[in-house]
Amino acid sequence: MERWYEELFTDYARTYDRESFTQGTLGEVDFIEQELGADRSRRILDVGCGTGRRAIELARRGYRVTGIDLSESQLARAGQKAREAGVEVTFLRRDASDFRFEEPFDLVIMICEGVFSLMETDAMNFQILANAQAGPRTGGGSSS
């Protein structure tokens, strides 16, 4: 059975891309790139990537990006957009409160518009932050 916040994003992907809060992608990615010192060797994890707007723009700029999200429809749209943009991004269906990767990332970003407002308890929110903190290599960082 889907949790209410999983059901919320079913068939929402195209509408999501038109929401006013999704229109600042270039500025957001400019900021991320500035913080990285434009070091394109960095491997980035985008937690709660939605339709991939930041992940795709980072890939356009030469970064290696993996995006995770709980919504299959959001991820399907992200994959479609990445193909249309001609960039390679790994999109995976993962729960932000319970994910692991073999290799650490240089940077974990979590700039989604709803990850915390969607969680049911403070413990779930804490687990998301703990996972994001565990993701970067030594000397890396996380941003929320």
Domain count, the chain: 1
pLDDT the model gives residue 131: 66
- The CATH number covering residue 44 comes to 3.40.50.150
Domain hosting 59: range is 4-143
* For the chain, percent of residues with pLDDT exceeding 70: 62
pLDDT the model gives residue 44: 94
Is 143 in contact with 106 (CB distance < 8 Å)?
no
**Within 10 A of 31 (CB to CB), how many other CB atoms are there?**
13
Give the torsion sign (CA, 71, 125, 98, 142).
positive
Model confidence pLDDT, tens digit, residues 63-87: 999 999 888 888 999 999 999 999 9
DSSP 74-135: HHHHHHHHHHHHT---EEEE-BTTB---SS-EEEEE---SSHHHH-SSHHHHHHHHHHHHHS
